[in-house]
Amino acid sequence: MLGIQFVLGMVINLFAKLPAAHPGTTGNFGSRAIHGFIWAISNGAGIALLLHVVVAIGLLLGSLVFAIRAVAAHSPAWIAVSVVGAIGIITASTNGLAFIGYDSDATSFVMATGFIIAALAYALGLAFAPELPAPQLPVKSRAARTKPSSRPTRHHSYV
């Protein structure tokens, strides 16, 4: 997915031009981000930006799920890889939102840097980290799965 995101970003960078005025170019960062995001996913800037945003959402969710999975597996190497990768993707995503609103070379540079950080983290993880163990679902013992008898227990007192 990172490769697809890179290609879509290059297509936008080389062949698409954001209009000077569109929803998301006025107000504070939050207002610009929300309106620019809605404009981008409503196909306001074309299919390349729409796909770029959809893939970014997938990468963001995937990176967070991966970090949770690494923590659940108690794997220090994969926790480090997944957290650094998620930080890179979060950095790229927030600067992508800023780019839509501000059309700044600086936000484009930071977006690309976030991508490189994520790509390097995941590549180094695949090359050097031990295999991530399969998730283990909690299994109740047979005694815990059986229902207790509905009949009351009789206690006899032999005195």
pLDDT greater than 80 at residue 150 = no
Find out whether 78 and 125 touch, Cβ atoms under 8 Å: yes
Closest residue by Cα to residue 47 from 11, 21, 22, 23: 11
Give residue-wise pLDDT tens across range 56-112: 999 999 999 999 999 999 899 999 999 999 999 999 999 999 998 888 899 999 999
Find out whether 111 and 59 touch, Cβ atoms under 8 Å: no
* Residue 134 included in any domain: no
What is d(CA 39, CA 16) in angstroms, rounded to the nearest whole number?
15
DSSP secondary structure letters along 132-154: PPPP------HHHHSPPPSSPPP
Half-sphere exposure of 22 (CA within 13 A, CB side): 22
Q: ∠ at Cα 38 (32, 42), nearest 5°?
A: 140
Supply the pLDDT for residue 19: 80
Amino acid identity at 46: G
Q: How many domains does the chain have?
A: 1
Supply the pLDDT for residue 51: 94
Exposure pattern of 39-67 as b/e (b: 16+ CB <10 Å)? Answer: bbeeebbbebbbbbbebbeebbeebeebb
Question: pTM higher than 0.85 for the full model?
Answer: no
* Residue 87 included in any domain: yes
pLDDT greater than 80 at residue 152 = no
Q: ∠ at Cα 80 (134, 51), nearest 5°?
A: 80
Amino acid identity at 131: E
**pLDDT > 70: what percent of the chain?**
86
Domain residues for 70? 1-9+41-129
Count other C-beta atoms under 10 Å from residue 101's C-beta.
26
Count other C-beta atoms under 10 Å from residue 30's C-beta.
10
* Residue 135 included in any domain: no
* Residue 98 included in any domain: yes
* Residue 34 included in any domain: no
